[in-house]
Amino acid sequence: MADRARPEVEGAGVLDAQGPAAPPRRNGELVFEAPWQSRLFGLTMSLHRAGRFGWEEFRTRLIQEIARWERDSPPGAPWSYYERWQASFERLLEEKGLCAPADLGDRVAALAARAPGHDHRHGESED
């Protein structure tokens, strides 16, 4: 569905003439720029719809996380909206007792140890 390759990092400049944050001139921009962003969004909405948390609970943490990033990140640090979303989501899951950080860390390590053929970092297309 992409008409051009999209980098995974969201750009920081609303004024970029081109690149990931270039202001689109028409409809039809990709909703998500990488598969992990759409999975993350879908996971969040799915749990919200299942009644695991209220949207405002998530939104409050997202606002805090974005503010924290804007306050603490060094100048020129690459901005990624969905990375902030991920951090907020992980925190909410921990607070709700739905996923402990240690369990997540273990699973990340297990996935990272997969055979090279399963290494998503070289096999995941950015369509």
Partner 1 sequence: MSSDHRHAPGAPDIALRVEALESLLTEKGLVDPATVDAIVRYYEEEVGPLCGARVVARAWVDPGYRARLLADASAAVAELGIDGPQGEHLVVVENTAKIHNVVVCTLCSCYPWPLLGLPPTWYKSPPYRSRVVREPRAVLSEMGLALPHDVEIRVWDSSAEVRYLVLPERPPGTASWSEERLADLVSRDAMIGTAVARPPDGRSRTA
Question: Helix 81-95 to helix 101-112 angle, to the nearest 10 degrees?
Answer: 130
DSSP 11: P
Give ∠ CA 12-127-3 in degrees, rounded to 5: 85
Residue 8 interacts with partner 1 (CB under 8 A): yes or no:
yes
Selected from 63, 68, 95, 127, the binder of partner 1 by CB under 8 A is: 63
Q: Which of residues 69-108 bind partner 1 (CB under 8 A)?
A: 70, 76, 78-83, 86, 89-90, 93, 98-99, 103-104, 107-108
For residue 51, give the 3-state DSSP assignment: coil
Q: Exposed/middle/buried for 88, CB within 10 Å: 0-12, 13-18, 19+?
A: buried
Give me the least distance between CB of 67 and partner 1, in Å please: 8
Q: Where does this chain bind partner 1 (CB under 8 A)? A: 7-15, 20-29, 31-36, 38-43, 45-47, 49-50, 52, 55-56, 59, 62-63, 66-67, 70, 76, 78-83, 86, 89-90, 93, 98-99, 103-104, 107-108, 110-112, 120-121, 124
